[in-house]
Every structure is written in C-alpha cells, then in structure tokens.
Amino acid sequence: MDTQTLSLVFVACTFMLYIGIAVWSRAGSTKEFYVAGGGVPPLLNGMATAADWMSAASFLSLAGIVAFSGRDASVFILGWTGGYVLLALLLAPYLRKFGRFTVPEFIGDRYYSDFARVVAILCLIFISFTYIAGQMRGVGIVFSRFLEVDINTGVYVGMAIVFCYAVLGGMKGITYTQVAQYCVLIFAFLVPAVFLSILWTNNPIPQLGLGSQLADGSGLSVLEKLDQVTVELGFSAYTASTRSSLDALAITAALMIGTAGLPHVIVRFFTVPKVTDARKSAGYALMFICVLYTTVPAVAAFSRLNLSQSVNEVAYSAAPSWVSTWENTGLFAWQDKNNDGVIQYGAGAPFVGKPDFNEQRGVHGQRLLNNAPSEHQNEIYVDRDIMVLANPEIANMPSWVVALMAAGAVAAALSTAAGLLLVISSSISHDLLKRTLKPDISDKQELLVARCSAAAAICVAGYFGIHPPSFVVQTVALAFGLAAATLFPAIFLGIFSKRSNNIGAIAGMLVGLLFTAGYIVYFTFIAPENSHADNWLLGISPLGIGAVGCLLNILTTLLVSRLGAAPPQQVQDMIDDCRIPSGAQVAHQH
C-alpha cells in the first residue's frame, strides 16, 4: 500500500473514532455542552487538557521554527511549559471553586458588571480567533499534503470535520475525543523521533540523543555538527542567539502569562468534580505535555540535519521524491538561479514573498514561480510548518510512520480548534445572550444558539486559516500575547486583590487590549517593513509585547480601583470563599 493510501486509511480511522465518540457523548444540556457535566476524572481531564494545549503549533510548527531559528526559538519551549506551572498554582483551583462555566462569567460576577463581562467576551473572541487561525492552517497543511490538494482545500476539509464533533458533542464530546487524540498525537510524534535519534546517534531516546555523539564516527556531538553545518551554509551558529536578552525575557513572560490566561485551557478545570481535582488535572496535564516538549529540541535538531544533507548540492532530477511531493503543495519551492539544475541551499530568502506558481513547468520539471528573484544565492523556500510532517519522508522512514504522522498532526490541530470553537460559542450563547442580553431564554434555546455560534465561528476560523498572518507557531504566539495583556490580569487580580473594582478591571482590560493589539497590528500588518529592533519599544518584538501589556493592565486596574469605591461586601466575601479552603474559617474561629 502506497504512502498516500496508507495515510488516508490512518486519518479516516481516527476520524471515525473521534466522530463516534462525539455521537456517543452528545451533549443533552447546556452544562454538558459547556463543562461536560462537571464529572470528568482528573487523569482523563489531564490528557484532554494536554491534547487541547498541544495544538498544531506544538505538534507541527514548534520543532520547525526551532529547527530554523535554533536557540532563538527556545523562548517558545520555556514560555509554554512554564505557563502551566503558573496556571496550576495561581488560577486552576480557585476558578474551579468559584464554579462558573466560562472566564467572562467569572469576570462579570467578580467585578459585578455586565459591561466587564462584555469586555471580557470581546477579549476572548479576539484571542480565540487569532489562536484558531494557526490551527486551521495546520489542518490545511496536513490535508494539502496527504490529499494532494492545495492548502485552501485542506482547510475546507478540516472545517467540515471539526463541525461534525464540536457542534454536536460540545465539551462532553470534545473532552473524550481529546483523550483519544492525545494518545494518537503523542504516539505519532514519538515514533519518528525515536527513528531519527537512532538514525543519527544510535540512541533510541531522543532527549538523550540530542546530547550524544553522531554515529558517523566524526566525534562531533549533534549540536556541534549543527553549528558547523549552519555556519558553512551561511547562517549563524545554531546555538547562537540574535535576540536581545530583554526581548527573549519578554517573549518568555508573555507566553507564560498568556498560557495561564488562555480561556480554552482554563475552562477545562471547570469540568472536574472537585477543587482538588482541578490541581491534579493541571499536574497530569503538565506531565503529559512534557513528554512532547522535551522531545521537540531533538526533533528540531535532527530535522535540520536531515534537510541540509538531503537537498543541498543535489541535482533536481536526482532529488528525493519528497521534494516534488511537497513542491506541489506550495510549501516547498526551488528556483534555479544559475541554470545548473542543482539545488543550492543557503542563507537568505530565495525569492520575494511566498511561492506563487505558474501552471507551466521548467526545463527540469520544477514548478515555475511568478516571484521576482532575490539577491540571495539560496534557491529553495521551505515553509517552517512542514518540517515535522516531512521528517519521516526526508529520513526515508517506512510508509506507516509517514501515515501515523499525518494522523497525529490532524489530531493535534483539530483538538485545539474544537476547544477554541467551544469557548467562542459558549461566550456568545451563555455570557453574552443568557447572562447579559436575554436572560429569560430556555436551556434548549441557549443550546441551539451555542451550536449555531460554533458553526459560524468555524466559517470565520476557516477564513483566517486560509489567510494567516504568519507561521503557525508565530500566529499562536500573538494570541498568547493578547491573553497575557487582557484576561490574565483580570483573573489574577480578581482572585488575589479584593480592592480591585469593576471600573478598574474594565479600564485595565481595554488598555491592555488596545495597546497590545495596536502594537501587533501595526508591526505585523500595517508596517511590517518597520518591524525590527530599532523601531520596537525597548527593543521588544510583537511576540513579547504582551508582557508589557500585562503590566499596563495591572497598573491601570490598581490605580483606577484606588480612585474609586471598594467592591461591595458580598463580592469581597465571595473572594474570601474562593481563596480560603472549605472549613478553614470555622476551624480558625474555634
């Protein structure tokens, strides 16, 4: 059975499993739709949370961007894993004890304001759609390769699949689907990693293989070889950093704080039976997440070595089959600048912009490009997001490994997309409609609105998947910056600052949102040509500006709150009840 057929079989089997689970666990009430009825065991919730968290950015794009950026990309690994510690210690148990369905519901009740709830909904939707753009692009990449269609068609296929189980099953269906998806994606990620580690170092443990000597007898370690190869190709050394220390610190902080403020992750802790289960879920999730995140650096290093060895100074006519396969997706391209028929790979962009293909083919059979050539000698364009998916083919692994990777990539992208869609739909149906605009609607009507909202959100998500602002991991990182600047400070101060009032929280969220979104939009969309350290505030890039937005939010909230009246006594009592363990006050009085 050829690779494409085998991939379709693997993906189809996993789809049948996911949709079967969604139908079996179809939500029959709003509580089941929003928080799975509140009865998910901590271990299963930890697996579902890990799958919700390990999106297309983690599975597909993270190793790809580490492969090409080296040490500079370590901020993503540090920020995303460290953020879960913040979440487990600072937020998860308190939010679970508060006992609300959604983040805007917590903010609306804690700050005793419908307007605060609406501002939180606005922030949540902004964050979720930025995040989901990366997931839908990840889905499109997978299908464009294994259905041999363009990436836009791949996004449409992914939209249809998400619709089937996210709209029908709600959180109950998504939770048990994500447990299955975690098992699929982690197995799919680890198997090629083990193959690569054995191939390069004879060590079957990727985490140890990264620090081992190469099996070629050179006496060099993996990282020493990478430094040598990248410098010879005209790049900076793999282990060198080009970011300023302040920018690296800001990006790491934004990702950590953003993790603790992501609404689709926070809502997972409302699905467990008890407060102690929320903390246990966070611990299990961190353990499951670390399995993948500790493997990413090794996969990144091996994939960069694979690419350098596979295509540089190789005649196009003799290039491995994966070259033409990925070329047809528009995510890999070759432009023969010196007309010698040989692929030259080096530093710099091979041509202006991304590939724009003609229908005709060149004399060597390559896809011709409409783009004007750049001044660099580099002749290939490689989309960072394909590296993990292409790894098994580049390393000439068995067809079943390639097929398994396809199933895992789809599981990673769809699991997070479904969680985000549910957050968007519940914010619209429950927080905006039921709690704010039309409190008298029935449970059945609210459930219908939730499903319609999810369907509409899928359409918008598909558009952003076709027109993403950047690579998957960078697009997702922007969402984390927005979460860090808006929702995290409101939740954190809502739990730990009894003096923070409604006016302060609203002002803080608006300041954080407008500053961070404005900074990101300007340097990413309006004037990307100005996006370099000389023009950035304190040298902080758009990826890290969420940390500054967070500080501005906190300072604004505290200052404005001090100028106004303290929150009502019942709200302060509610905060005490949320923070103090059950029975502690009674024991203290006795």
- Residues with Cβ within 8 Å of residue 280, at least 6 apart in sequence: 42, 43, 46, 272
Residue 33 has pLDDT above 60, yes or no: no
**Residue 140 — pLDDT band, cuts 50, 70, 90?**
confident
Q: What is the pLDDT of residues 205-256, one digit of tens each?
A: 999 999 899 988 888 999 999 999 999 888 889 998 888 999 999 999 998 8
Measured distance CA(274)–CA(93) in Å, rounded: 9
Q: What is the pLDDT of the chain when averaged over all its residues?
A: 81
Instruction: Please return the burial class of 456, using the count of CB atoms within 10 Å of its CB with bins 0-12, 13-18 and 19+.
Output: middle
Residue 582's pLDDT is what? 52
Residue 556's pLDDT is what? 97
Segment 51-65 shows an average pLDDT of 78
- The amino acid that residue 406 corresponds to is A
Segment 134-144 shows an average pLDDT of 75
Q: What is the pLDDT of residues 431-463, one digit of tens each?
A: 777 777 787 888 777 778 877 877 787 888 788
**Residue 589 — pLDDT band, cuts 50, 70, 90?**
very low
Residue 39's pLDDT is what? 64
- Residues with Cβ within 8 Å of residue 438, at least 6 apart in sequence: none
Q: Which residue has the higher pLDDT, 377 or 315?
A: 315
Of 58-67, 297-306, 340-349, 464-473, the range with the lowest mean pLDDT is: 464-473
Segment 127-131 shows an average pLDDT of 74
Alpha-carbon torsion, ordered 92, 280, 132, 146, to 10 deg:
180
Q: Which residue has the higher pLDDT, 294 or 352?
A: 294
Residue 583 has pLDDT above 60, yes or no: no
**Residue 473 — pLDDT band, cuts 50, 70, 90?**
low
**Residue 171 — pLDDT band, cuts 50, 70, 90?**
low
**Residue 155 — pLDDT band, cuts 50, 70, 90?**
confident
Residue 477 has pLDDT above 80, yes or no: no
Residue 585's pLDDT is what? 47
Contact in structure between 361 and 181 (CB atoms under 8 Å): no
Q: Which residue has the higher pLDDT, 180 or 250?
A: 250
**Residue 587 — pLDDT band, cuts 50, 70, 90?**
very low
Measured distance CA(264)–CA(266) in Å, rounded: 6
pLDDT above 70 covers what percent of the chain? 89
What does each C-alpha distance from 264 to 97, 131, 349, 424 come to in angstroms?
18, 10, 36, 9
Segment 189-195 shows an average pLDDT of 92
Enter the pTM of the model. 0.80
- Residue 516's nearest CA partner among 472, 557, 549, 561 is 549
Measured distance CA(92)–CA(106) in Å, rounded: 13
**Residue 10 — pLDDT band, cuts 50, 70, 90?**
confident
Q: Which residue has the higher pLDDT, 148 or 315?
A: 315
Buried b (16+ CB within 10 A) or exposed e, 26-60: ebeebbbbbbbbbebebebbbbbbbbbbbbbbbbb
* Number of CB atoms found within 10 A of residue 301's CB: 25
Segment 282-296 shows an average pLDDT of 88
Segment 109-128 shows an average pLDDT of 84
Residue 478 has pLDDT above 80, yes or no: no
Measured distance CA(590)–CA(581) in Å, rounded: 16
Measured distance CA(87)–CA(4) in Å, rounded: 41
pLDDT above 90 covers what percent of the chain? 19
Residue 586 has pLDDT above 60, yes or no: no
Alpha-carbon torsion, ordered 462, 415, 36, 267, to 10 deg:
-80
The full length of the chain comes to 590
Angle at Cα 163 formed by Cα 161 and Cα 166, nearest 5°? Answer: 105
Q: Which domains does the chain have, with CATH numbers?
A: 3-303+396-581 (1.20.1730.10), 311-385 (no CATH)
Q: What is the pLDDT of residues 519-570, one digit of tens each?
A: 988 888 788 888 888 899 999 998 899 999 999 999 999 999 999 899 999 9
Highest mean pLDDT among 168-172, 259-263, 333-337, 469-473: 333-337
Q: Which residue has the higher pLDDT, 353 or 343?
A: 343
Residue 590's pLDDT is what? 44
Of 196-200, 350-354, 469-473, 557-561, the range with the lowest mean pLDDT is: 469-473
